[in-house]
Structure 1
């Protein structure tokens, strides 16, 4: 799997999310400011609700733009076994049943699932519980992640 290709797919997905979120923010803003939505009494809250929605969408637009900036500046480096898993690592994990999962550790804001070479790849940040648990690990190491009241265990099968 090509990490540069994965990075490009993340950027394309974020660009799509940005476009959709900007359109949603604009629609919510137009609804909030439309003259027909001026409150006529204290129970008429459509304009107020649309204003809250527009504010939330605007914050989401800002977050996606920041994520795009982080991902544009991010250039994954080759895996260095002396340092263990670091940001930019493409990791293959096996769970207790032997099922394989591919994880790409990237900067914040890119949490998503992608397909690369026909294989599903989960993109996570080092802020995610699994991302934090992977940092510094090497092939053959076991990784434990708290999930609710239990723990999930994985073995690091491969790192690129």
Structure 2
């Protein structure tokens, strides 16, 4: 049985690291945009303007990470049994050895040495899994073998 709270902490750790990287990049771009050497000398000199756009984009990434982190923290983690339909929070095993964690955010992240892939309802696989049941054959031919 997988410990979902421990998995969530690992995923949060990845998100916090990426958030910090985006914050550092935003700070660096902001410093460049406001540096005295970035003042435009001609109409074609756009170093400061480009740095300002980059700083804004990185700041938006930080805000996106904050939203994702808060949504992940607020997600109630429940255990599922063999009779349950697949819904958000379920960890699903598929034939062929793939294990997915069905979450509303963080699609594409891999946990447990790449053994568990986070998928979202917006992904093609997530759309197939949403509401499915154990032993159901998905449109791509894989069978749901386990849920927890």
Provide TM-score, normalisation by structure 2.
0.90
Tell whether the 8 Å contact from 2:81 to 2:147 is kept in structure 1 after alignment. Answer: no
Equivalent residue, structure 1, for 2:93 = 92
- The one of 88, 103, 107 aligned to 1:106: 103
Could you tell me how far 1:82 is from its partner in structure 2?
4.9
Between the aligned partners of 1:49 and 1:70, the Cα distance in structure 2 is 32
C-alpha spacing 1:43/1:112, structure 2 compared with 1 (3 Å): same
- The one of 121, 136, 139 aligned to 1:141: 136
Between the aligned partners of 2:143 and 2:132, the Cα distance in structure 1 is 10
Gapped regions of structure 2 (runs ≥ 5) = none
1:123 aligns with 2:118: yes
1:37 aligns with 2:25: no
Which structure dedicates a bigger proportion of its chain to strand? 1
- What do you get for the CA RMSD once the two structures are aligned? 1.7
Report the number of matched residues.
Answer: 147
Gapped regions of structure 1 (runs ≥ 5) = 145-151
Could you tell me how far 1:110 is from its partner in structure 2?
5.3
Question: SS of the residue aligned with 1:107?
Answer: coil
* Cα offsets for 1:47-72 (capped at 9, x unmatched): 11111111111110001000110111
Question: SS of the residue aligned with 1:139?
Answer: coil
Runs of 4+ aligned structure 1 residues displaced above 4 Å come to 80-83
Tell whether the 8 Å contact from 2:128 to 2:138 is kept in structure 1 after alignment. Answer: yes
Provide TM-score, normalisation by structure 1.
0.83
Between the aligned partners of 2:81 and 2:12, the Cα distance in structure 1 is 25
